[in-house]
Amino acid sequence: MAKAKLKTKTKSNKSDASLLGLSQNYIAQYGKFVIEQRAVPDFRDGLKPVQRRILWASRRMSPPLKYNGEYKKAARLVGDTMGKYHPHGDSSIYAAMVDMAAPHCTVPMIDGQGNWGTITENAAAYRYTECRPTKYADTCLMPSEYMNITNYIPNYDGADEEPVYFPALYPNLLLNGVFGIAVGVTAGIPPLHIDGLMHMIEMVIADKTITPKIATKYLRFNYPYKPHCTSIDDDIMEWLTTGRGSLVFSPTVTVDEDKKMMIVTNLPNFFNWDTIIKRLSQKKFDRVVAMPVDMSDKRNRGVPTFGVKFKTTVSRDDVHDAAKLVAPVFDITARMSTVYNIRHADESVDFKTSTLGELITRWTYYRVDLEKRFQQYQMDKLSEAIAQQELMMLAVANKKIIMQSLDQVDPAKVLVTKLKISLEQANYILDKQIRSLSRMSGDEIRHKITELSSASKTAKKHFNNPEPKVLADMNAGLKLVETPTLPIKNRRAK
């Protein structure tokens, strides 16, 4: 009897261990999927998969959605994204689209028409709103000429393809920042102003190291509503040194003594109206706070402005003390973690954690390599075009032979023999219309060859020394990414 009990207990243990192992395996697979396919962006284009697929679906529409073209219903783009590239819920796709539009995004990637929401209200349903990519998204994240050199993978059902990453010309991950929660991982990178980023990119190109001390010199946080970073220097240095830390962001607070009101602007973007009401309803504020008031209007260009009215029992002299008591309600402590993915053409993904300086360095190396690959692509394309023009020069000089070959059973074979060219070249000549061939002149073709050769020399120059071209192109497009900013040392207004 004892042996039977022992055998039953052993089976139960094995079953429990097997179930535990299976559960751990499933949780690990799910966690890996969320990190790779949902919450963490690729460092090159700074986009999560859903964001990349939204923009890619806009490019693949017929006709493509362009920044200077017509708006389309957001429902159409949500449907194309979900049906072709991102087989998940329509609500999560639209939520991502809203976050990519103004006023929620520092450098917007979606140009929205209609009600795309504010801190005090949600965006309208996607059947009411319209959208198209912004010029920044269309020309800086998805530059048409560079899309030829990026890697593509099959979409989820194999009926189409999608890019592994966009060949971004600017560090979108750092310009727009990221916040995402995965299993055991939180991605938190604040948006940074382009002026400081350009200084640090130039330093990397000059073979200088971005130390935490150097980063503090150029670092400028750049959330859309421009809150101030009020963290102590040690906390900022911890994030810059380790890649992890907590930063405090605070609004601008002013006091109107006559109206007994505290006016709050430059609110941290993590807030919404419900959060403000909930925080102000705490018991310790009962004796001073009457109500919050939304004062946002067109005069302050859509920047959320809130008034906190104090009770009539608060004297004029006590208004400033009341404001000091209430002001911390609008502070936000944001957990920062500099993490990102590196996606590969074989669909594998490397997850990385680094410091800000290391991330800027990695992105700069990517951008220089992207330019080298693009210039190599240009040289190959120009070399092919020059060869075609030289072939046409040969054809123009031998028009009579070509015309006579047309009377033969196999004209291509005749041209191969008489002009000493390949069968492919012979077919290329024969595919040209006789009328266009007769109109061609040697001088015209020589001029084209000269132009193509000059362009090839320029491409080779940029290939051998891509860094000046990278900086020149980035400086030329700064207007697309520049936004007003506040320095890192700013504290809350008194």
User: Which CA distances in Å does 155 have to 37, 83, 139, 471?
Assistant: 13, 10, 23, 34
Which of 133, 140, 76, 78 lies closest to 110 in space, CA to CA? 133
Measured between alpha carbons, how far is 445 from 419 in angstroms, rounded to an integer? Answer: 18
Q: How far apart are CA 235 and CA 248, in angstroms?
A: 9
CA distances from residue 319 to 53, 121, 277, 278, 316 in whole angstroms, order as listed = 51, 29, 20, 22, 6
User: Is the peptide bond preceding residue 466 cis, with omega within 30 degrees of 0?
Assistant: no
Contacts of 414 (CB under 8 A, 6+ apart): 401, 404, 405, 408
- Burial readout 381-414 (b: 16 or more C-beta within 10 A, e: otherwise): ebeebbebbebbbbbbebeeebeebeeeeebbeb
d(CA 365, CA 217) in angstroms, rounded, equals 22
Closest among 47, 36, 31, 164 to 96, alpha carbons compared:
47
Point out the catalytic residue in the list 71, 85, 126, 128.
Answer: 128
Cβ atoms of 53 and 81 closer than 8 Å: yes
Is cis: bond before 191, omega within 30 of 0?
A: no
* Angle (nearest 5°) at CA 375 between 373 and 378: 110
Measured CA to CA, the distance from residue 121 to residue 98 in angstroms comes to 12
Which pair of structure tokens corresponds to residue 161?
A: 């393809």
The reply to whether 128 belongs to the active site is yes
The set of catalytic residues is 128
